[in-house]
Amino acid sequence: MAVGPTKLVLAMLTVIVVCLIGWVMDICTEAGPVGGKQEAILTPIILSVVDFGKAAQFEVYVTEPEKTIRSIEQYKQHGHQRGVFSTLWNFGAARFNGATVSLLKLDIANALANIWLCAVGLAWAVKYHTAYSIIYFTIVTIVICVFGGAICRCAALEFARGEKPGLTEAFRFSGAKLSSLLAAPFVPVGIILLLGAMVFFLGLMGNLPGGFGDLITALGLGGALLIGLLLVFLLSGTIAGAGLMLPAVAYEGSDGLDAISRSFMYVFNQPWTMLLYTLTATVWGTISYLLARLFVFGVMIVTYGLLYLGFSCRVGGTERLACIWPRPQFLNLAGPDIETAINWSQSVASFLIHLTTLFIVGLVVAFVISFYFSACTIIYALMRNGVDKVGTDEIYIQLDEIRDEAVPPKPGASAPGASGG
């Protein structure tokens, strides 16, 4: 299901838009000469991996010490060329690959450590680049809701009725349900922030002089604990049920509040079933991702090998092919960075080849995105069947889709509205 053309195109568009937004924002945050000094437009640029924090540095060093040392040296030498998005992308990609390989080796501790480091990276971005993070992650969430909702709709129709809708139908549904798709993630996050602000305000009141602050804190502690309990409930439901919200809209055609309530209800009603489905999808997704990456790597390395045989002459002691296309690696499909090019033609060729390899890497990422939303859609249908006893083939159909399914008139029959003889 994940390799369906429509879903892959939608996922690839997601990757392109997300990367384009990050690239533009990195350009906007690059340092420029202002008054003879280098000052950032929006936020400063990260200079080294050490800025991820001592905890992240320690965990990475424990799990992969050699890679950590190389990464630190690389960032120290080339850190001024990286923006916040580029840093997060490279760091997250390395941790994702590490977690995937660890799961394949059944090294659960290392996999969890890599996942935790991804969270540390996000925390670093929010802490040290707050304005950048708020703007970027808000825009990215909207993009994911739009394209993710379209992917979930395609997966829901395919799983429920065996249909494979096209891009037009997917975008039409996503546009019609845009408010519901956006409300699903933003409403619970907004409520969590509001409740957290209430407890934070109580803490500010504790600073009142004359002992009034202590009394106010003591009197409001009971309410703060109740809010804390509600926050834990909301956080647990939001994190565990986040993957069910967009599929709920895709399957039910309901609003955002209904999608939130359904995801919370299914998670808390049958938590162990939800955990089993999630683990099954994670294991199968890991194997599928590695197979897809192996397939893409095979295509690239075979192509590289044939081209290598054709490039018989050498320039400056360096193989000509290596000057424009570094050898692909399984965990680095784009290959290592090319330091210098000998002439302008090799510079242009290297740039064009780099764009091509980035597109291929984007296809692998698109497969992961498509698999995630497809798996979440199937899990939602199974959870709904287990809790509400609703068949997996029951799905919301729009009026225009019903009209498209109308049986065409028999040959020779009069069309509606046609004048009779």
pLDDT tens, position by position, 29-54? 764 333 333 333 333 333 333 334 43
What is the predicted pLDDT for the residue at 159? 93
Q: Using alpha carbons, select from 13, 39, 12, 17 the residue that is nearest to residue 28.
A: 39
Using alpha carbons, list the distances in angstroms from residue 131 to 125, 126, 135, 204, 274: 10, 8, 6, 23, 35
Contact in structure between 262 and 252 (CB atoms under 8 Å):
yes
What is the predicted pLDDT for the residue at 50? 35
Can you say how many angstroms the Cα of residue 45 is from the centroid of all Cα atoms in its chain? 22
Which amino acid, residue 96?
F
Contact in structure between 7 and 151 (CB atoms under 8 Å):
yes
315 — phi, psi (to 5°)?
-130, 120
Q: Which residues of 309-325 are buried (b: 16+ CB within 10 A; e: fewer)?
A: eeeeeeeeeeebbbbbb
What is the predicted pLDDT for the residue at 52? 40
Q: Alpha helix locations (H) across 51-129? A: 54-63, 65-78, 84-104, 108-128
Q: Using alpha carbons, select from 284, 268, 210 the residue that is nearest to residue 234.
A: 268
Tokens, residue 400 = 């225009």
First to last CA, the chain: 50
Tokens, residue 202 = 């109580």
CA torsion 82→86→87→88, rounded to 10°?
A: 160
What is the predicted pLDDT for the residue at 290? 86
162 — phi, psi (to 5°)?
75, 15
Using alpha carbons, list the distances in angstroms from residue 134 to 40, 126, 190, 232, 388: 17, 8, 13, 23, 37
**Nearest-angstrom CA–CA distance, 54 and 48:** 12
What is the predicted pLDDT for the residue at 311? 72
Predicted TM-score of the model (pTM): 0.78
**Nearest-angstrom CA–CA distance, 250 and 181:** 9
Spans of the chain, pLDDT less than 50: 31-63, 65, 68-69, 72-73, 75-77, 79-80, 316-318, 403, 407, 409-410, 412-421
What is the predicted pLDDT for the residue at 49? 36
**Nearest-angstrom CA–CA distance, 248 and 149:** 10
Contact in structure between 7 and 154 (CB atoms under 8 Å):
yes
Contact in structure between 237 and 267 (CB atoms under 8 Å):
yes
335 phi-psi bin (left φ>0, alpha ψ -120 to 50, beta other):
left
